[in-house]
Amino acid sequence: MHDPSTRPAPRLSIVIDNYNYEQFVARAIDSALEQTVSDLIEVIVVDDGSTDRSMAVIAAYADRVRIIDKPNGGQASAYNAGFAAARGQLVLFLDADDWIYPDAAAEIIAAWTPGTSKVQFLLDMVDGAGDPLHRQVPRELHDAEAARLMRDCGAYGSPPGSGNAYDRDYLRQVMPLEESAWRTGADSVPILLAPAYGQIRSLRRALGAYRIHRALDDEALVFNNYSGSLLSEFLRITAGKRAVAEGLDRLGAQRAQPLGLAPWEARTMVMCARFGGPQARAAMQPSPGAVVRHALRSVCRWPYIPLRRKLQMVVWMLGVTALPLSLAHRLARMHRRSAGQPDPSAHAAAARLAAMKLHG
């Protein structure tokens, strides 16, 4: 019988997608090059037509990384170009404003086994300057439950793009991505469909940093690095549902019709119905009220949160929907403060991030 311990360790391709992040991209490249298993790593940097000095920064690494300098086409086009060049059995798409810790690749490679479609891990949240926010994403990591949640809700607990490493045999099934549809948020497709093609393995400690550019005290109701538009969040969520539905239908797999919403998606949908403006409400089918009811039902049916928290979320959503506008807006802003989960080792994480910031 073949001894799996004698199987050669897989190589990991780290694909860094960059667009106008001249102030951040060097930190991302350095973090990829500083992995403890550097002999098992290849680093590919895709610049998606930056108009700042990004290419001047990237060019300094020409003897150590593979550089793809392409016209601007959006995130999906950068993913497609990077994957086409990648040769590793595992592929990690690292956003140029994030970075990974030196032991990330070793941990990923050790966790991967044949039949695994994705290895996922926590990310420390940092602000635009790279200082710790003492929180981690995501709040929930799902692995054994991920396939069921995907079939029922089209979503499961997963980190943002930089916290995922994929098996290339899986990626071949879902890539190349449709470039016109995924100029932003292209990580949604490989993240959401991974449970349909193999096992999800979760590493429940932070192996990288997720940078939040948006000021914590601005008026946006969403907590990401995109436009802050609730309409754009609504479109991203609905596009993800379509991608999951189409992917499962291609495989002949059973799924809920319609797909439900994960709790974090349900909260966003409720905010969009109240504060997204006429364009967002017009896009809600069959009506904003129906979308709110679907969000409430989805939270009640979500299996992995306690009843008390479900009740809190339902009360919050009803308040955002029905309270006078100013009170509802104050309530909605609480959504941002609950992003991620408190870091159980905040002091250690702060020291680690400070040391890496100084080194970078």
The per-residue pLDDT for range 128-177, each reduced to its tens digit, is 999 998 999 999 999 999 999 999 999 999 999 999 999 999 999 999 99
pLDDT more than 70, % of the chain: 90
Closest listed residue to residue 143, CA positions, set 192, 194, 206, 202: 202
Taking the model in full, what pTM does it have? 0.92
User: Distance between CA 344 and CA 76 in Å, rounded?
Assistant: 34
User: Distance between CA 121 and CA 14 in Å, rounded?
Assistant: 15
CB atoms inside a 10 Å sphere around CB 18: 26
Closest listed residue to residue 16, CA positions, set 63, 58, 72: 58
User: Distance between CA 162 and CA 320 in Å, rounded?
Assistant: 31
Quote the pLDDT of residue 337: 67
Residue 282 above 60 pLDDT? yes
pLDDT tens digits for range 291-346: 999 999 999 999 988 999 999 999 999 999 999 999 999 999 887 766 778 887 75
Closest listed residue to residue 94, CA positions, set 42, 146, 154, 39: 42
Q: How confident is the model at residue 113 (pLDDT cuts 50, 70, 90)?
A: very high
Tell me the residue type at 339: A
Quote the pLDDT of residue 1: 42
Residue 117 above 90 pLDDT? yes
Q: How confident is the model at residue 2 (pLDDT cuts 50, 70, 90)?
A: very low
Quote the pLDDT of residue 341: 80
Mean pLDDT for the chain overall:
92
pLDDT tens digits for range 261-270: 999 999 999 9
Q: Which two tokens stand for residue 144?
A: 């054994």
Closest listed residue to residue 248, CA positions, set 147, 160, 119, 165: 147
